[in-house]
Amino acid sequence: MKKNKKNQSLKLNRRELLFGSASLGAMAAASNSVFAQEVSSNNLPPNVPEWTGELGDGVDVNPYGMPSQFEENVVRRNVEWLTASSQSSVNFTPIQDLEGIVTPNGLCFERHHGGVSIINPKDYRLMINGLVDREMIFTLDDLKRFPQTNKFYFLECAANGGMEWKGSQLNGCQYTFGMVHNVQYTGVKLSDLILETGLKPKAKWVLAEGSDSSGMTRSIPIEKLLDDCMIAWAMNGEALRSEQGYPARLVVPGWEGNMWVKWLRRLEFGDMPYMTREETSKYTDLLPEGNARMFTWVMDAKSVVTSPSPEKPILNKGVHQLRGLAWSGRGKISRVDVSLDGGKNWKTAKLHEPVLSKSVARFTFPFEWNGEELLIQSRAIDETNYVQPTIQELQKIRGVNSIYHNNSIATWLVNSDGKVDNVRLG
Amino acid sequence: MFDLVKHSILFSFFIFLSSFVNADDRKFNLGKIATKTEIAGWNIDVRPDGMGAPKGSGDAIKGEEVYAEQCAACHGDFGEGVDRWPELVGGEGSLDTHDPVKTTGSYWPYASTMYDYIYRAMPFGVAQSLTHDETYQIVAYLLYMNEIIEEDFVLSEKNIGKIKMPNQKGFLLPDPRPDIANTDGKPCMKNCKVPTKIIGKARDIDVTPEEEKS
């Protein structure tokens, strides 16, 4: 936090020099998908649009299709001052621009600790060693010959919203909630894979290790591994993207994204946790007393209104469809409530099918806007009856320095001009 | 009759074969047995009890040189951190303050983790290029700078699992969540008593990245 402040003041100075004002930045951030296109009346009725009077591209032009050029603002974004290098950094899913529950592969947020490894699948090997009956090596083709499983799961970084513990810092839905994505994985369940290696009775933990430049490692208790973890080689029907661990990654449903080791090269079974850098110096949650929670794996229930949001201002008076996402690492979302007055009064939103366990769910809520200020919030409830908390509830127990696991309710202020701000109520 | 005999011989042969392959009751017969050499090349993790620590040794005196060459460009001559690269030294007594400084000395619970991480991931972008001795030397230098060992203490595979780190007891298990009040699925719906005064706006903090204006 100390460093953040240092950067903030640097940034302010720079901007003051450039623009002579410190107020332009937030407006620009909110505008990114609003003013992208202008209307050409030549294309409107009763005129014949320009694209009607000419042939379009043939089937040989785009062997791998890309989004329309008019969607060029729908991209992952990063916050440069957050990290020292872009290879050990993070970017954010543009959830404010997405519909339904599936995150397109090219928009899934990235978090790397040593950049994106490029691996020829023929050179891929998975080693399994330690407390097993047989220490073994599998090729990618071997993995694909096991019984297959196909599942939708969300992956959320434990630091999603981590910048918001002390107050509202980043004026965007993407920057405050975008370290989450939701895709359908294809792969092999670990409970099937270990039928080949066998397990020694003393095996209680597994170390998952990546083959990237950071050699990412995390310890996972064996009960979780054998419950629902899988090694995936495909997402949303196609091979994993390189930035998501091609050719194979670990899937740890409902648990923090850091454990979903990408470019997975090794699983070592042991009788105690390995206490890796990632599960000691990072991904531990510092409390006000100076001690820290360790092994806080589950991602608690969370929801966010994706529109309206700082990037999605309200442009017209009248009827609108509020949209949002909700998810829980403990199972299915059972209900989402929406408030337009800062949490005083709540109404239940519509949950859209499918609502799957440990997957994001889509909710909508119709409302009418006539230029009044709104304080928009959403609140998720999951099948364990866990209710998404306010930031005050979390702060009371955990203080403001735990970085990880901020699943609190956010507030979007809709101003009378329709522009939307990330605000903190108190 | 002849066919039957032939089939039964073939059948017995298959039974013999499959019992051979299934001698270790593998279900799918996929993958191959890993050799000791293959495992040794990849099995680089070091556990808190010292398991996995490779043969080697080093002290802070030698470590200072290696550190200056391999680490100081990002982490600073004294582990103070350059730009936004991590601080490695100091921070004692800061964990319960407004500005906690989490370093190997103030926060990391095990010295084994330092060895494991430095060998597997450092120097940044040149992973697994240090020798085992160099890695012990660097860890010894960091422990020395954090006033955990003496300058001439020889760190090795024999004692890395026995170093007592200052914050080893600073971690709480198990995870107490859910740690919030409302887990009955019935939150307030009407006239709820909640703070609704705006006390802060991200717009005013003004650290949100700007879009390029085309």
Residues A248-270: tens digit of each pLDDT: 999 999 999 999 999 999 999 99
Is B77 within a domain?
Answer: yes
Residues 6+ apart with CB under 8 A from A408: A161, A164, A388, A389, A390, A391, A393, A394
CATH number of residue A373's parent domain: 2.60.40.650
Best residue in B206, B213, B214 for a mutation probing chain A (most A CBs within 10 Å): B206
CA triple A217-A219-A223, angle to 5 deg: 145
Residues 6+ apart with CB under 8 A from B31: A136, A137, A138, A139, A142, A196
In this structure, are residues A378 and A336 in contact, taking their beta carbons and an 8 Å threshold? yes
How many other C-beta atoms lie within 10 A of the C-beta of residue B98?
A: 12
Dump strand ranges (E) for A222-360: 230-235, 238-239, 249-251, 264-270, 285-286, 292-293, 302-307, 318-327, 333-339, 347-348, 350-352
Cross-strand pairs, A285? A293
Is B60 within a domain?
Answer: yes
How many other C-beta atoms lie within 10 A of the C-beta of residue A138?
A: 25
Residues A84-128: tens digit of each pLDDT: 999 999 999 999 999 999 999 999 999 999 999 999 999 999 999
Is B179 within a domain?
Answer: no
Is A83 within a domain?
Answer: no
Please give the tally of structural domains in chain A: 2
**A311 and A280 fall within a common domain:** no
**A125 and A214 fall within a common domain:** yes
End-of-domain residue from the set A247, A266, A293? A293
| Chain A residues close to B101, C-beta within 8 Å | 2
Residues 6+ apart with CB under 8 A from A90: A78, A82, A83, A109, A110, A111, A157, A159, A179
**A161 and A264 fall within a common domain:** yes
**A289 and A306 fall within a common domain:** no
Is A358 within a domain?
Answer: yes
Residues of chain B with pLDDT under 50: 1-2, 4, 11, 13-22, 213-214
What pLDDT score does A137 carry? 98
Is A3 within a domain?
Answer: no
Q: Tell me how far apart the alpha carbons of residues A74 and A67 are, in angstroms, rounded to a whole number.
A: 9
**A249 and A317 fall within a common domain:** no
CB–CB of A214 and B194 under 8 A? no
What does DSSP say about strands B171-172 and A292-293: parallel, antiparallel, or unpaired?
Answer: parallel
What pLDDT score does B8 carry? 54
Cross-strand pairs, A249? A232
Please give the tally of structural domains in chain B: 1
DSSP B63: H
Cross-strand pairs, A333? A382
| Domain that residue B156 falls in | 44-162
Helix/strand/coil (H/E/C) assignment for every residue in A149-175: EEEEEEEECCCCCHHHCCCCCCCCHHH
| Chain A residues close to B180, C-beta within 8 Å | 386-387, 389, 393-394, 397
Is A12 within a domain?
Answer: no
What is the overall mean pLDDT for chain A?
92
Q: Tell me how far apart the alpha carbons of residues A280 and B116 are, in angstroms, rounded to a whole number.
A: 12
User: What is the predicted ipTM?
Assistant: 0.89
Is B145 within a domain?
Answer: yes
CB–CB of A291 and B116 under 8 A? no
Closest of A332, A198, A217 to residue A264, by C-alpha: A217
DSSP annotation string for A173-192? HHHHH-SEEEEEEEEEEHHH
CATH number of residue B122's parent domain: 1.10.760.10
Is B117 within a domain?
Answer: yes
Residues of chain A with pLDDT under 50: 1-35
Residues 6+ apart with CB under 8 A from A157: A90, A109, A111, A179, A180, A256, A257, A258
Q: Residue A139 in 3-state DSSP?
A: strand
Is A28 within a domain?
Answer: no
**A322 and A189 fall within a common domain:** no
Helices (H), chain B: 2-21, 36-42, 60-70, 72-75, 111-121, 132-145, 202-205
| Domain that residue A136 falls in | 112-293
DSSP annotation string for B159-191? TGGG---TTTT-EE-S-----SS--SS----SS
Is A272 within a domain?
Answer: yes
Is A397 within a domain?
Answer: yes
CB–CB of A385 and B184 under 8 A? yes
- Please give the backbone phi and psi of residue A32, each rounded to the nearest 5 degrees, phi first: -60, -25
What pLDDT score does A124 carry? 98
Q: Residue A22 in 3-state DSSP?
A: coil
- Measure in Å the smallest separation between the Cα of B104 and chain A Cα atoms: 8
**A152 and A288 fall within a common domain:** yes
End-of-domain residue from the set A235, A263, A293? A293
Residues 6+ apart with CB under 8 A from A68: none
Residues 6+ apart with CB under 8 A from A419: A27, A30, A313
Q: Residue A320 in 3-state DSSP?
A: strand
Is A320 within a domain?
Answer: yes
Residue A219 touches chain B, beta carbons under 8 Å: no
Is B178 within a domain?
Answer: no
- Please give the backbone phi and psi of residue A319, each rounded to the nearest 5 degrees, phi first: -80, 145
CATH number of residue A284's parent domain: 3.90.420.10
Residue A3 touches chain B, beta carbons under 8 Å: yes
